[in-house]
Every structure is written in structure tokens, then in C-alpha cells.
Amino acid sequence: MATPPPDGIYVPVPTFFSSFDKSAYKQPLDIPAQTEHTLFLASAGVKGLILCGSTGEAVHLSLGERVELISSQKKALVEKGYDNVVIMAGTASQNIDETVGVIRESKNAGASYALVLTPSYFAGAGGYSEEGMRSWYMAVADNSELPVLVYNYPAVTNNLQLSLSLMKHLSTHPNIVGCKLSHGNMSHHLILSSSPDIPHEKFRVFTGLGQQLLPLLLSGPGAAGAIDGTAAYFPKTLIRIHALSKKIAAANGNVSAEEWKEVHALQCAFSEVEEWVVKFGTIGIKEAVRKVLGISVGQEGGRLPFCESHVGKEWEKFKPVFEAVQEYENKL
């Protein structure tokens, strides 16, 4: 039976690009900027990175570019003594053969886990059933060379929401070790973290929304942590929320008033700054990496058709909430 990833904070990192190259009709990868960001996150103490996920614009990358990203970042982590930082690879493919192939290449490049996004092309046309989706995931897990985490993100999968009955069934597969839930349904988080029908020791629940971390970690034994975009520039704050929340859960809430006050203040501030990502998504994360960390993300930010020109104009409106979390981050 496969081993789940360690509990903690993981970052779905954006993919950094250089300026548009007319001869190639695209923005080339910017490996130096990618490595600078990777090492910043590793030094802050995150448990792992998700490369080539939704935030990493996997759908805008070739397989060769995905392999280059993973191998280059794995090499940088090992060279700097951060070989304990876990790499999860996104798949974002619609068919089983391609998904399994992407996982194989990702493993060879240095990934330890596969974050498998739900296939969804025909979801809006009524083409999927729970039985079909279950069989798809089971086939991927049967043939995957890496342990699998189910990635439920309705916003990028034609609003396809995986049912609780399906998730419970998938949790029993020996090669499926957890899930990332990128939706606002806390009831599903709680049930999947607490249900007696799920083997919590090997199926771990990660929220994709850092604003839900405190309630998730207090919800049940299967709660593991967060895979969160705002942690791309404020990792220490979310790591601190995780540590306090785990301590509170282990003590059945019997901790000092000061610790309760701190975790509530941190979660509130972090949730407010998350509204930036709620509004601007991947491009917003890149803009914040540029503004907060001073790392160049290229003039265009994301790959076309992404365009970040509208994002910078909104920065001043959000600046106070960024400054509030930055104060916490500096203290940590």
C-alpha cells in the first residue's frame, strides 16, 4: 500500500516565463526565476511543491516542458540540501494513457506524488456518470507509478463536483493516498476527514484554500493541511496556522487563550489576503510574487491567452491586507 505525503503546507507554484518569443510563438520557461522561488519556499519550511498543476498552467505546457520544470527544480532542491521537500506533479489530462504517461515521466524527473485532476471535457454535455468517473480514476491508480491524490477543482473542470460516495470509494484504493479539495464546501471537507468509511491513516485530506485551514484541521483525523496559492509568497503564516491548529486539535482545544487568539488573528488576516487569489487566480499569484518577493515573473506573467495588465491596476485596493500579513510574516 502506498504511503501518503506528510501532513503540512504545500505550494502550487506558478510557472515562470520569459518575455514573448515571436519565433517560438510563446513565452519560454524562466528556470532561474523558478529556482529562485523554489529555494525561497524550501527555506521557509514548506513540506512540498506542486509543479505543473492548475496554478502552474499545466494546460499551457508541453510534456517536455513539464519534465524540464520538475527535473530542474528537483536538482536545485537536492543541491541546496532540501531533498526532503516533496514534489507533486499535476497531470491535467483527459485520457487514461496520457495521464499514466505524464505520471511516468514526472516520476523519472523527480516527482514523488501525482495530483490527478478530474477529466471534465464532456461534463457540461451530460456525458459522465459516477460509475465512469470511478472506473477512470481506478484505472489511473492501477497503472500509476506514483501514489495518486484526487484533485477536485470544479472551477476548472466544467463545474464537475465529485460526490462523497465516489470519494469514499476511491479512498480505499491502495494507490490513492489523498485528495485536494479546491472548493468551498466545508461539509465535504469535514465528512472526508471524519467518516468511518475512509481509512484516514492512508487517505489524507488537503484543502486547496488556505482560508479553510483552521476549520479543516479541527474537523477530523484525516485532515492533513493545505495546498494553497497564497503560500507562494506568505508561506510562514500558513505554516504557523497549521502548527497551532494541529496543537489545538491534539489537545482537544485545551490550549492557552493566547494561542487561540493568535490562530484566530492569523487565520482572519490570511483569509482576507486570500481574496486576491479568489479574484485573480493564477495571474494574481504571479503579480503578488513579483510585488511581495521581488522575483521577476516576465512582462506577460502567464502564457497567452493569460494577460495580467488588469491585475496591477487593482494592487492598491488590496495593499492594506497584504501589509497586515506581511507584518506577521516578518515576525515569523
Q: Measured between alpha carbons, how far is 40 from 46 in angstroms, rounded to an integer? A: 10
Q: Which residues contact 74 (CB under 8 A, 6 or more apart)?
A: 87, 109, 110, 111
Catalytic residue among 113, 128, 151, 153: 151
Catalytic residue among 107, 180, 236, 286: 180
Residue ranges of the binding site: 55, 227
Q: Which residues contact 4 (CB under 8 A, 6 or more apart)?
A: 147, 177, 178, 202, 203, 204, 224
DSSP β-bridge partners for residue 180 = 151, 206
Residue ranges of the binding site for pyruvate: 55, 227
- What the block records as the C-alpha cell of 262 is 493568535
Q: Measured between alpha carbons, how far is 48 from 38 in angstroms, rounded to an integer? A: 10
The answer to whether 328 is a known catalytic residue is no
DSSP β-bridge partners for residue 205 = 179, 223
The answer to whether 247 is a known catalytic residue is no
List the catalytic residues. 151, 180
